Structure 1
């Protein structure tokens, strides 16, 4: 059986790439098919060299070829050969994929660490809170009844000095003095720096 390759069926070569790119830039699907046949294998090899993963290399190859179809009008002959341009696209895509994968892996690792790291120790927090409340309760007992009454109304019930004065039927100055003296005594008892 004699195989004759006619001009219409002759496989395209790398020498035809500039002409093919020009036709692809004008939306010629047949030219893209021929371009695809020439560049697909080198693009796959370039992607695999960077990625070392067959599945990801194939995905990147597909992305590069789709990008090639869309960006063909931007190809400029004065900046290098078609093959170099295509392989540059492939290399950049592969590097982007490596960076994306690394960033995703780092995010997942941080998320996993956060999921396993307690935000705080609930038992310690509860013990500390109870100890502080107990210390404050003991300190309040060192105050006079008048001071304690004014402080409780101000800090536990949220009343203003004027509201306390009205409620206790006291002059406003007396309430302010009791609050000030009570806070000074608490500070000294709790040993809080002034």
Structure 2
């Protein structure tokens, strides 16, 4: 229980404000003044500020975060890489099935290169879409290995439809798209 004694350092202004010594002590803590508030005189009418107040100068507020990079280059890289990987797998499978009886070692090498190209391209696509920098490198490695498969196809001298001679443009296009600065900004 808290009991407060009257403050004797403050001199009361009237006799009515002097606490009675015989009154029982209470545990109420007073949080407001015991006297009345002083009245401040009002300033004369001539001193009131009636002049023009200038407007505040506008301040440029910076953007809360940098703008997001445009995803079009990364989407184009992903789409062309998917097509390139699919075309490489089709050509490698066709090459292996046609040459298996004549040159098994060549077919094993093409199969190994196709597996490396597929692994690098798929890993690169996933990394690129997750905005990792290593995705661009993996796509370039997968495309380089795909070009090696097509070079092996041309060195073997296989009879191919004319459209197959245009398919190496897909890995080259995926390398070009992966190397674009816009794709790099997307990955950061």
The TM-score normalised by the length of structure 1 is: 0.20
**Bigger radius of gyration:** 2
The TM-score normalised by the length of structure 2 is: 0.20
Relative contact order (alpha carbons < 8 A, sep ≥ 6): 1 or 2 greater?
Answer: 2
Looking at secondary structure, tell me which structure has more helix per residue: 1
